[in-house]
Amino acid sequence: MTANVYYDLREQLDQYSVGLPATGSGVEMKILKKLFSEEDAELYLSLTMVPETAGEIAQRIGRAEDTVTPQLERMVDKGLIFRLQKGDVFAYQAVPFVIGIAEFQIKDIDKELAELINQYISEAFGKELIARTLPLRTVPVNKSVDHLWPVAPYDDVRRIFETEDKIAVTKCICRVQHGLLGDACDKPLEVCFMFGIYAQYYVDKDMGRFVTREEGLRILDKCDEHGLVPQPLIAQEAGVLCNCCGDCCGILKSMKLAPKPAEKVLTNYYAAVQSDACSACETCVDRCQMEAIKVGVNDVAEVDRDRCIGCGLCVTTCPSKAVSLRLKPESERREPPETAEDYMLELALARGKSLVPLAISKKWQT
C-alpha cells in the first residue's frame, strides 16, 4: 500500500455526485490525507453505494470479518461512510464527498480542514458545481406559492415534514466552517434537517438531535424569517433539507456566480411582481440570494427569470403583497428523480462516470 491510494481515492470520489475534481495545487489530496488513513482509503475503494453487511464486504474482498467490522465502525465514527441499521443488522456503504463526507464532519471539523475546504471550493469545486445540475434543489418557503398554482408533494416543504416519522436537526456545516474562519454570517446555525435513516444516523453519531414535527416547523419558520433558502436533496425522497444562505453555503455561492442560476437548480417556480401593487420598498431586493430582483426605472421591482430560483423569500415579506410565486410553463418544469440513487446514476452517466468501485472495475479488466 502506497500514497498512490489517495489518487485512486480521489478518482473514486470523483465518480460520485458532483465529483471531486483535481486541482493544480493538490489541495484535495491534503483534505483526503487529513480524513483518511491509507488503510481506510484502501477499504473505501472496495465499498459500493449499495448497503452491505460487514460479513458480505469481508467475503467479497477476501478479509476476515473480525478485522473488517471494527475498521468499518471507525470509518463511520470519522464520517467517511454511511451506516444504516435494520433490526440488529448493520450495513455500510460508500458516500460522495458532497453531499456526504464533507457534511459528516460537522462534529470534528477544525480550522485546518475549514481552510482546506474553503480553498478547494475556490479552486475547483465551485466551478464543477456551476457546470452541473446541483445535488440540492430549491423548494418554495412556507406560504409563498399563489393558491392558483398546484404544488407537487415533493415541492411542498411542509408536506415533507408531515410524511416523515423520524426528523433530526443539525448545525449547518457551511456556517460552522465559516465560523472557524472568522467570517460566518449571523444566520441561525441549527437549521439542517435529516429524515428517516439519515436522521437516525445523525443522532447515533451525536451529530444532531431528534425533533418533533411541530418543533421542526417552528425552526423552518425561523429560517424563513432569516432569509434562508430551503433546499432538499434533488430526489423526491428528500432525505435531507438544508436551509442555506448566500454568504456561507458553497452551493448557493457557486450558483450565484453562474450567469443563469435558474438553469443550474431544479426548481419549478418563479417570482412575479404585480406592478400596480409594488411600493418599490426593496425588501425583496435585500432578501434575494441570487440578486435576481432590482427596482426598475418605473419604481417597480423587476425579476430576472434567468437568476430566479423560485425560493419565495421575496414573497413572504413583501409588505404590499405584490410578489407571488408562479408555476413555470409545463415545457420548463422538471420532475426530480424518485430517489437519491436514481440521481447519482443520472449524474454519473451525464458526467461520463461509473458508480462501480475502482477495485471491482479493475478486477473486471484483468
Q: What is the pLDDT of residue 66?
A: 95
One pLDDT digit (tens) per residue for the chain, 366 residues: 456 899 999 999 998 887 898 999 999 999 999 999 999 999 999 999 899 999 999 999 999 999 999 999 999 999 999 999 888 999 999 999 988 999 999 999 999 999 999 999 888 876 666 665 567 777 776 555 554 444 555 467 788 888 888 999 999 999 999 999 999 889 999 999 999 999 999 999 999 999 999 999 999 989 988 988 888 887 778 788 999 988 888 888 888 888 888 888 888 889 999 999 999 999 999 999 999 999 998 899 999 999 999 988 898 889 999 999 898 998 988 888 887 778 777 777 777 777 777 666 665 554
User: CA–CA separation, 258 vs 265, rounded Å?
Assistant: 11
Quickly name the fold that domain 5-122+345-358 has: Arc Repressor Mutant, subunit A (1.10.10)
DSSP H or E segment with residue 200: helix 197-204
Q: Which residue has the cell 426530480?
A: 336
Q: What is the pLDDT of residue 321?
A: 92
User: CA–CA separation, 276 vs 134, rounded Å?
Assistant: 36
Radius of gyration of the chain from Cα atoms? Answer: 21
pTM for this structure? 0.86
Q: What is the pLDDT of residue 166?
A: 94
Domain residue extents for the chain: 5-122+345-358, 127-138+148-257, 269-332
User: CA–CA separation, 17 vs 96, rounded Å?
Assistant: 6
Q: What is the pLDDT of residue 147?
A: 47
Give the CA-trace dihedral at 236, 240, 245, 249, to 10 degrees: -110
User: CA–CA separation, 103 vs 31, rounded Å?
Assistant: 14
Amino acid at the residue 335: E
Quickly name the fold that domain 269-332 has: Alpha-Beta Plaits (3.30.70)
User: CA–CA separation, 193 vs 167, rounded Å?
Assistant: 7
